[in-house]
Structure 1
Amino acid sequence: MPRWLPRAMILALALIACFQLGSWAFHQLIGLLVNVLIAFFLALAIEPVVSWMAARGIRRGLATFLVFFLVVGAVAGFVAMLGSILASQIIDMVESFPEYLDSVINWSNATFHTELSRVAVQDSLLHSDWLQRYVQNSATGVLDISTTVLGGLFRLLTIFLFSFYFAADGPRLRRALCSVLPPAKQAEVLRAWEIAVDKTGGYIYSRGLMALISGVTHYILLEILAVPYAPALAIWVGLVSQFIPTIGTYLAGALPMLIAFTIDPWYAVWVLGFAVIYQQFENYMLQPKLTARTVDIHPAVAFGSVIAGTALLGAVGALIAIPAVATLQAFLGAYVRRYDVMDDARVQGGRRSGGPGDGRPVARQFWRALRTGGGPRP
């Protein structure tokens, strides 16, 4: 046996063991890594505001706390308004359920000549097997729901703590990172960090402005139609349509349409038509102007990045995909050498006249040959 073979076998087994250990640790820590990634992008989003407040004499820790306090307060107020809407709608549905049941029973008796009554229907529903099974499953699922809620609260707390430290200790973190790199690499890291802050902050602020415009326009429509809870519904439409990629527009319009339908079915049609028209106005007029200087990426690239981010990290990847791709594009754009484009019609999608790819001279000779009865002239 060669002397190097046992040593090579031990080295190979050690590498396999290290790979297995690293893979196991990565899968165990994937949740924490995703939370840290979300916290990092959240810290990048609030970095301009924190730096602006710190430049005016406010300590970074206090400035970060104030920003987070405002964000948490706004989110809590939004959730409270949305909860009040849902609670009132549920109460109205429960109170009007006997009327709905009577109307359905009367329609069934008049159409199918049955002899149903509300008491008989209620008794059959209360003593049905599927209702008892549903109640049992709901009772056993309460613990699972409570565990999910507690896990979500703990995850939010983890994200806020990490993002608070990233934003409050941003200069110290950059200094620690640059201390282990040579000067040339330090400049590149700081440049990438600055681009990430600009792109992420610009994305959040442009989305916030579009959410404000969308909320105001939908609020005017809901007030004209006299739909209840118009302010809360307008806030819902603005935030959900802008900060949930791809499907946010449909989720945002579903709730106002449902509430408008309870008043008049035609109101739901009006809300749907307005949402479709406004979406086209936003996509082709409003969004290109607001995001031209902040997140200037092609719509197809943005859509593909959202799909790729969703496939990799789910909803988290969909949220951070666009600012991440915009940061990468801006960073790589500094190292790509660009040239002046030649004045050629083919650049604009046309064809060069008289060139090898132009078939017009050959076509003229062909038609001339058909008219004269001879072959094409040289």
Structure 2
Amino acid sequence: MCRCGYGREANPPWEVRLRRFEQLRARLRRASGSSSDPSGGQVPAANQPPVATPESAPVVPEPVTEEVHPSTSSRDDADVPHALRIAAAWSWRLIVIGLVGWALLKVVGTIRIVIIPLAIALLLSALLAPLVGLLLRARLPRSLATAVVLVAGLAAVVGTLTLVVNEFVKGVPDLSRNATDGIRQIQEWLKTGPLHLSDNQLNSYIEQGEQWIDENTQALTSGAVSTAATVAELLTGALLVLFATFFFLRDGGRIWRFLVRLLPVAARWRVDDAGRASWSTLVAYVRATVLVAFIDAVGIGIFLVVFDIPFAFPLAALVFLGAFIPIVGATLSGAVAVLVALVDSGWVRALVILAVVIGVQQVEGHILQPLIMGRAVAIHPLAVIVGIAAGVVLAGIVGALVSVPLIAVLNTAVRRLAHRRTPEVPPDAVVVAAKAP
């Protein structure tokens, strides 16, 4: 035990030592003029001005930062209204899409002599594919089944055209005579009717018509030359349609698998599923259109025969072909039938045929289309009208014929691709994936 008299204070506890150490450090800091108080603030030296404490210092407001939308990439974008940024983003994207669409239309217009026959061949393949499948189930070779169906379809078309042309040739003299009588009746009505035109006025109008024909002879001749070129293009297109239809029916599956293999592996199954669904839609559309067209042709043709209207069979065939252009085609073919009835049989029978055409169109629009076409493909009538108008502007009659099935196929494909699900993997898709590099 220590004898210095301090007792237990000779070895002070660590708290006392720590306190003394802090006091010594505070003295050294005050001596150097930069010591700190226990709260962490600066203690001014003797020769330094007093420093304001946080309580006495003026409160400086912090700068207000505006909230920036996460879609902006700079401060300048943040100053632009959000609605204007969205409108600008939509605008340039729509401009790009429009330019791409314009370029595609230019390409299609340049090679339309190839594109149009291929489109018609696809429609014919969709129509004849079930018959080929029936013969394949009967154990016929694929090439033989395709050839039989194609030859039978070609024979049916040629036979129908032969009957139409023969009946038309037989009825032209009577129709010409009736048309002449009808023109005389119109002239008499112009004289005795509310217009009260004189013979001199009628003769002047006729002379003006003849003068116009004489002045436009060159234009008519050039039109005939272009018509000859059009006939050559039609023959070339017809041969291409036959060959393309044959190979679509025989090798359609192989061609589709080849196209699918050109895509990335991750997208093959989805595209294959969308393509097969689109093909099913096209087949259903063509079947439904043929059935509706047949019902329209039979309904109007029966009344044409009953009322002894000339060209009953050609007019029924025209109604059948016109029904492939929804809404518009049936109206135009029915107008031709009414006009023939007016020229040949007078206005009474023409009104009867007009009532028949309107009745058949109402049955088609309210019964046949919802029951048959509605199950095959659901397209709004406005989309049909706009598609037909665009098809007529771009490609004439062929455009009107192809526009509606094209819209139906695109509708199915887009819906299938946009639907987020794992498509059912068909056997062919498995083969495609297995053969992929």
TM-score (norm 2): 0.59
5+ residue gaps, structure 2: 1-102, 422-437
Contact 1:48 1:197 (C-alpha < 8 Å) held by counterparts: no
Render the CA deviation track for 1:124-182: whole Å, top value 9, x for unaligned.
99xx7667667777666544332221221212222222232222211221332344445
1:249 — aligned with what?
330
Count of residues paired in the alignment:
309
What's the % identity of the aligned pairs?
Answer: 27
Distance 1:244 1:85, change over 3 A: farther
Structure 1, 256-265 or 300-309: larger mean CA deviation: 300-309
Among 293, 296, 316, the alignment partner of 2:398 is 316
* 2:175 is the alignment partner of 1:55: no
* 2:241 is the alignment partner of 1:159: yes
Shift of 1:209: 0.8
Distance 1:317 1:94, change over 3 A: closer
Matches within 5 A, 1:290-305: 290-305=372-387
Contact 1:202 1:295 (C-alpha < 8 Å) held by counterparts: yes
Instruction: Give the aligned residue type for 1:188.
Output: R
Instruction: Give the aligned residue type for 2:125.
Output: A
Among 360, 371, 374, the alignment partner of 1:289 is 371
Contact 2:127 2:283 (C-alpha < 8 Å) held by counterparts: yes
Among 272, 278, 287, the alignment partner of 1:196 is 278
* 2:345 is the alignment partner of 1:225: no
Q: Distance in 1 between matches of 2:361 and 2:178?
A: 35
Secondary structure of the residue aligned to 2:289 is helix
1:264 — aligned with what?
346
Distance 1:51 1:189, change over 3 A: farther
Distance 1:172 1:227, change over 3 A: same
Distance 1:224 1:131, change over 3 A: same
Contact 2:125 2:245 (C-alpha < 8 Å) held by counterparts: yes
Q: Quote the RMSD (CA, aligned, Å).
A: 3.9
5+ residue gaps, structure 1: 1-20, 339-378
Contact 2:293 2:320 (C-alpha < 8 Å) held by counterparts: yes
Distance 1:174 1:90, change over 3 A: same
2:419 — aligned with what?
336
TM-score (norm 1): 0.67
Contact 2:168 2:314 (C-alpha < 8 Å) held by counterparts: no
Among 136, 144, 152, the alignment partner of 1:70 is 152
Q: Distance in 2 between matches of 1:200 and 1:264?
A: 43
1:171 — aligned with what?
253
**Rg (Cα) greater in structure:** 2
Distance 1:221 1:105, change over 3 A: closer
